[in-house]
Structure 1
């Protein structure tokens, strides 16, 4: 298009599909100037003409050293923020009331509309209800689906030109600001789960609406109910509402969830009065498995006395005389606790009740996990064949804790007779590649776990039929391992576990092709172990009558260089 020096602008229609941003680039080219007064040129080119050019009033022909009228160009880039309104679903979440009592149900209505205002009929939403105290620790940005799906575009065009070798680069001064060119820069409360509800798939009706029930737990907190909506492949939206659960008299636990044996800590509970009048409150506490220093009254927190029965496994009910709480304020109850040995948890039940006619009360139950301060460890282990009388001197370590540890003796008719340690190792094994899953299932003789491995096995086979440690993708469709495939075929035949016929045939065909040299597998750390790997593959094939003597021609027989496993495979 032609630009005019008096009005160098043009109109660009911005489409909704340009969102969230788009880049506009302009290459302005000016031809050789002829018969144009120089003052016009400078007025067009700079905001203020340069005084020393004012004497040139007419066209200047090119000379031997300067060509002021030569062609020129200017290239610039600017970013336009378009927004995402064309892809945004308007999602509203409304609760039937702002606050609720504990263990009640909040009725929540969700409405989703398209960008044109019409209902998002049959759209899909996911709903989560989370304690807002958890979100104070770390905000959750994962439910902002639109921002994740429509991210800002970066400028992905690289431009080069040789025009500078022919014409001069045009300078427009401050007329071009902002400059382009860079692309831009009441019962006992014991249910305190932070997640109230998670429903990943809810379909809206023809009116783009859904109603759900959110069951509240025992936490006296505020909760955020979030609905993440999707319609088709290009419309997304998020809506939320906050509700809270409350009551007139509240007990708030300050007990640590984890303690160690022998720890001394302050067990603190806050009693809160949310009403507009003062309360006289009686508080009681009961704990199992704790030795507790208890105040004689709820107001005498600075002069604790030891209860005569505090060292019993079950601590008796402990009651303060009277606790006065002004309106809208709170008071703290504190017990000094010594965690006993030999218990796995401490269970607390704390009650508070207002004196008088209203009888407002609250009760909470809290469980603390107790772990050993000094875990039992193996100090010495001896393994021997008992073919005659044997004696072994045993002494308790000097720093051993009383009543802890001991001596374990086990007899077995064979080396493989007692495999409890191996079984425990397999049961607690945390990793999950194909080899590890299969080894755990077979080692534990777990048919259910093996069935799970078997159902997923086809997804672990590459295009040649060789098994891979993790399901192959398009980028590593031929990365199956011959070693893993041979291992799976051999261990299943040895243990009696079966691989389904289609997967087994595909694995045998792939292993046969590997031995015959029709396919190769080289990994990131290549080693000179091809003969050893082929021997392992041949041993596995022999278990299924798929090995042939002619296959040995692909192997250089040098037993003195082989590891023991390869020699056994050859034999």
Structure 2
């Protein structure tokens, strides 16, 4: 829960490519905020894929290197309301606009609608529970629905929209359902972008709410539970509600199995304990006479006869016997009264003890034991309290070990000695909110839209002095991977695993154990526009990457110089203090022009290709626009200038004919002019040679000389390629590259290390026989040492260095490899 900043520490940072090869390594010094920045160049020859970055002994991460074409437009889907009711029509609007603001008339659309059920609670009704809240595996609840609902296609209109009708809405299982309407749009340059929107469908015109009383009530008392009916917007409505309380108990018997060992079987039984019918905004009184587990069912119907159903559960605690579910494990279930807690609250925990009375060791644990105490428990439904402290953020575990001495009567153990000394143990995980660790961060610009090459002032505000990492990235690129603003609090405070184990020998003494089926779940586990003659050629996706430090009031300022991209830039700020608080925020700015050209070029061409390419012209007004093209490295086979009629807000494609004659890079410059408005853009594309590698191998023998004929393939180019001839006395001449792979591959597990060692040793023998220069012995020595380091005290071999148990097959393989070496 408490973090300390290693200010001034020296950290070795390494960057590796997808094959594990190190491409950068640098030692950095942490700032007083515990941060560092590093620029690492990805080689042009590097493989595409996931690259890894590691701050040795501190942290690690990854980033993707990929070929991509940034989208130049965005697709948004709108629905008329965020919430509807079962039986209503599902309609929506697809809006397709270029990132600089223009509409996309005539663009083709494919759309689909899907749904999934979820939980919902009307707002402004804190203190009440709505919907199905029972969580027991045997409640026979309807399964959550998740699947397709409707699909179709259409075209974007001149206003940049398409209306969609998908049919009547449903709410499967009397649950709220989330419907998602998704649309994919293709523009004139055949690029495709998708967008989506969702809405919530309610099963009825109102929800029944039950007062969120404590999960624990006292047995023998009358439960007065408030009952309300609330519309989805939170407004109270008048309705008749019927509430029933069912007491759930488990009938358990011991049955002798085929092995002669007794096993416990438990079956749930429900009986109606109490019921009432009230008008909403009244209390329903339910006498709960016995301790145990109760299911509450509240239902009402709206004017259309649709069912509004809410279920909830609670425990009646106190003296007396509650028939909990029994099994033959040594675990005991612990139930928390809330799903999460804030610092300063107290967690109330129910222990489902199988003993009428016993002694319990209660501990608060995570990396170690933070607190422990011994308590006396009376009854099978006792509770304990655990205060939540700052160091418990973001989660903590509470464990209980119950011990009972030998008893003459009322023993609960299986076998022929039910009263023998026994124990039970269990854990429950408690989530603790991170609100106390979060900074308030805001980032803002004076206006939302700018021109290429303009400067954008950015103001950052943090709730206390902090260091801020500020960056501005083309939103089109971020949308390719669904990138979202990072949450540093979640990174600093991830859920921790329990690092404490129980070493209690009593359950393992003398008696035989019955083990459950594999996979069986056991309880208790818890565990800018420049001058008119400028050509836009400076296209940058990341226009800002800067580390700032706020002043004493938490304020900071930066300035962004925009490139020539016509797009939307997302400005992101991530802040951290010298302590353990962090936060993040973001905003957007749009870059546009009143008249613009957007190239639609192929990604590459080959020598000899003839193709058409051009630009999409956009304008805020209706114009006759002249478009001209100028090229280097390509031949223009048609007109150099064309004139087209461009309507306001509608993209117009203007195409030209080209031929690729020579290899290299081709530069294409387009310019559009309408009155005093003009825009020009320049792009380059690679022109590749249509060549391929051809390899031929022949074999034979001779004691003097021998002639082999070579037939050149058809279409050999004189300006590229060549002939490479290699001779070898054996067929092993091509083995060198394979051997280099054995040396360079970043092996890690025992199977990979053994698979390297066995062929390497064999190949070393071949190299000696044929007089080839051998690979160094250090490879064998290092591999043998790594395999030996994986050997466990038992003699077997671990699969990975982090493993704890050896495995038979890799142990045999590792032994073979070591013997060969």
**Normalised by the size of structure 2, how large is the TM-score?**
0.36
Select the structure that is richer in strand.
2
- Give SS of 2:382's match: coil
The yes-or-no answer on 1:362 pairing with 2:679 is yes
Quote how far apart the aligned CAs of 1:406 are.
10
Aligned equivalents of 2:455, 2:447: Cα separation in 1: 11
Q: Deviations over 1:77-130 (max 9, x none)?
A: 1111213323322222112211211111111111122xxxxx2x2x22222111
Match of residue 395 from structure 2:
21
1:372-451 matches, cutoff 5 A: 372-374=689-691, 399=714, 404=719
Match of residue 189 from structure 1:
536
- Give SS of 2:629's match: strand
- Give SS of 1:148's match: helix
CA gap 1:265/1:29 in 2 versus in 1, 3 angstroms: farther
Aligned equivalents of 2:451, 2:498: Cα separation in 1: 53
Instruction: Name which of 287, 310, 326 aligns with 2:631.
Output: 287
Match of residue 645 from structure 2:
323
Match of residue 782 from structure 2:
524
CA gap 1:137/1:399 in 2 versus in 1, 3 angstroms: same
Quote how far apart the aligned CAs of 1:323 are.
2.0
The yes-or-no answer on 1:341 pairing with 2:662 is yes
Instruction: Name which of 456, 466, 469 aligns with 1:126.
Output: 469
Quote how far apart the aligned CAs of 1:217 are.
1.0
Aligned-residue CA RMSD in angstroms? 4.1
Check the 8 A contact 2:394/2:433 in 1, yes or no.
yes
Check the 8 A contact 2:410/2:419 in 1, yes or no.
yes
1:397-546 matches, cutoff 5 A: 399=714, 404=719, 523-525=781-783
Select the structure that is richer in helix.
1
Match of residue 219 from structure 1:
565
- Give SS of 1:353's match: strand
1:164-203 matches, cutoff 5 A: 164=507, 181-183=524-526, 186=529, 187-199=534-546, 201-203=547-549
Check the 8 A contact 1:92/1:240 in 2, yes or no.
yes
Aligned equivalents of 2:645, 2:779: Cα separation in 1: 77
Match of residue 86 from structure 1:
436
CA gap 1:162/1:143 in 2 versus in 1, 3 angstroms: same
Check the 8 A contact 1:190/1:218 in 2, yes or no.
yes
Quote how far apart the aligned CAs of 1:75 are.
1.8
Quote how far apart the aligned CAs of 1:264 are.
3.2
Q: Deviations over 1:125-176 (max 9, x none)?
A: 22211111111222447954333332221122222423336899xxxxxxxx
Q: Deviations over 1:46-87 (max 9, x none)?
A: xxxxxxxxxxxxx7799xx86666665432211112133233
Aligned equivalents of 2:563, 2:410: Cα separation in 1: 88
Aligned equivalents of 1:404, 1:61: Cα separation in 2: 94
Check the 8 A contact 1:155/1:183 in 2, yes or no.
no
CA gap 1:88/1:324 in 2 versus in 1, 3 angstroms: same
- Unmatched 5+ residue regions in structure 1? 35-58, 114-118, 169-177, 294-305, 308-317, 380-394, 409-519, 528-571
Q: Deviations over 1:304-347 (max 9, x none)?
A: xx45xxxxxxxxxx22233232x3221212233221115x2222
Match of residue 95 from structure 2:
none
- Give SS of 1:191's match: coil
Aligned equivalents of 1:132, 1:398: Cα separation in 2: 49
CA gap 1:149/1:260 in 2 versus in 1, 3 angstroms: farther
Match of residue 423 from structure 1:
none
CA gap 1:19/1:265 in 2 versus in 1, 3 angstroms: farther
Check the 8 A contact 2:622/2:645 in 1, yes or no.
no
Quote how far apart the aligned CAs of 1:227 are.
1.6
Check the 8 A contact 2:485/2:586 in 1, yes or no.
no
- Give SS of 2:782's match: coil
- Give SS of 2:479's match: helix
Aligned equivalents of 1:266, 1:5: Cα separation in 2: 84
- Give SS of 1:192's match: coil
Aligned equivalents of 2:502, 2:571: Cα separation in 1: 48
Match of residue 253 from structure 1:
599
Instruction: Name which of 240, 243, 254 aligns with 2:586.
Output: 240
CA gap 1:265/1:20 in 2 versus in 1, 3 angstroms: farther
Aligned equivalents of 1:109, 1:156: Cα separation in 2: 44
Aligned equivalents of 1:262, 1:377: Cα separation in 2: 21
Match of residue 41 from structure 1:
none
Match of residue 146 from structure 1:
489
Q: Which has the larger radius of gyration?
A: 1
Match of residue 728 from structure 2:
none
- Give SS of 1:334's match: strand
Quote how far apart the aligned CAs of 1:206 are.
1.0
Check the 8 A contact 1:27/1:75 in 2, yes or no.
yes
Check the 8 A contact 2:468/2:550 in 1, yes or no.
yes
Aligned residues: 330
The yes-or-no answer on 1:137 pairing with 2:480 is yes
Match of residue 162 from structure 1:
505
Check the 8 A contact 1:249/1:362 in 2, yes or no.
yes
1:32-71 matches, cutoff 5 A: none
Match of residue 188 from structure 2:
none
